[in-house]
Copies of this chain bind each other. A is one copy, B any other.
Amino acid sequence: MNFNELKNEIIKTQSFLCVGLDPDWKKMPESMKKENSGAALFEFNRKIIDATAPYAVAFKPNLAFYECFGIPGLEAFRCTVKYLRKNYPNKLIIADAKRGDIGNTSKKYAQAFFEFYDVDALTVAPYMGEDSVAPFLEYEGKWVVLLTLTSNKGASDFQFIQNQSGYKLYEEVLAASLDWGCSGNMMYVVGATKAEELENIRQYVPSHFLLVPGVGAQGGSLQEVAKYGMTEDCGLLVNSSRGIIHASSGDDFAEAAKAAAAKLQQEMAELLKEKGLI
């Protein structure tokens, strides 16, 4: 999926919502829990996808929530991607896996996610520098979503360290990465809990898409994110995981997810209108 296709889907859906598919076994309804954990995860996801797809432009399964079930969990991830690809071909599929290694190894991760699983985008950690990111950028129509300023408390441990010219580490990551990719194959993870930094981030990447987690359970504000981060192409994918998929832990989880996604979509439509995008 390319930049314009993503923008068109945002305009058509009147939404820049990304639904985080991070199913937590403890919060899944008892009736869904089968002996085969992989089958249960996939069935849960399928119902969430069908309920929320009218309100979302992207889906983001987080690999940890599948890997913790071992092989059956990864089979559920594979089936989820296949299901999305077949039934919702216009939705962006982001594997949130935060990979990154020396060049020859990142190349293998790229094969895993862009060939075997065939997702559209992958989150990548920047610590190991250019050659750990470059192999992911060699696939046409695929995206690197680079960790930049994350939504968690530990983000402050290193990401705000200032160098001797006064630039913060996350700014160094942004600046360096401009040589690696472009707005057509690179996005950035910027936590909604750091909305006040978005204005600064937009000075580095005025037109790139930002993937923004942290709205909802983690406390970020959608209005603040849009105020500081939205561009003429929207340029935002705002993720909500727990707030949607575990809005209810009962048998009405899909209806509750639908309602939560619809509520966010309505707020997003207002923000897109204010920006003159729809």
The reply on A263 being an interface residue by CB < 8 A is no
Report Cα–Cα, A22/B147, bound state, in Å: 26
Determine the interface band of chain A, counting residues with CB < 8 A from chain B.
Answer: 35 or more
Interface flags, A138-164, vs B, CB<8A=1, else 0: 000000000100111111111101111
Which residues from B are CB-within-8-Å of A105?
22, 62, 64-65
Which residues from B are CB-within-8-Å of A278?
none
Interface flags, A157-187, vs B, CB<8A=1, else 0: 1110111101001001100100000000000
**Interface pair B162/A68, CB less than 8 Å apart:** no
**Interface pair B151/A173, CB less than 8 Å apart:** no
Report Cα–Cα, A101/B169, bound state, in Å: 18
Which residues from B are CB-within-8-Å of A129?
152-159
CB proximity of A172 to chain B, nearest CB, Å: 6
CB proximity of A38 to chain B, nearest CB, Å: 10
**Interface pair A108/B65, CB less than 8 Å apart:** yes
Say whether, besides A68-B108, A102-B152, A127 and B130 are in contact (CB < 8 Å): no
**Interface pair B116/A70, CB less than 8 Å apart:** yes
Contact of A158 among B156, B157, B164, B176 (CB under 8 A): B176
Report Cα–Cα, A63/B91, bound state, in Å: 28
Chain A residues in the interface with B (C-beta under 8 A): 22, 62, 64-65, 67-71, 73-75, 78, 96, 98-103, 105-106, 108-109, 111-113, 115-117, 125-133, 147, 150-159, 161-164, 166, 169, 172-173, 176
Q: What would 19 more interface pairs be, CB under 8 Å, given A68-B109, A157-B176, A158-B173?
A: A64-B106, A67-B108, A67-B112, A68-B116, A70-B117, A96-B101, A98-B99, A102-B150, A102-B152, A126-B127, A127-B127, A127-B159, A128-B152, A130-B153, A130-B154, A131-B154, A158-B172, A161-B172, A164-B166
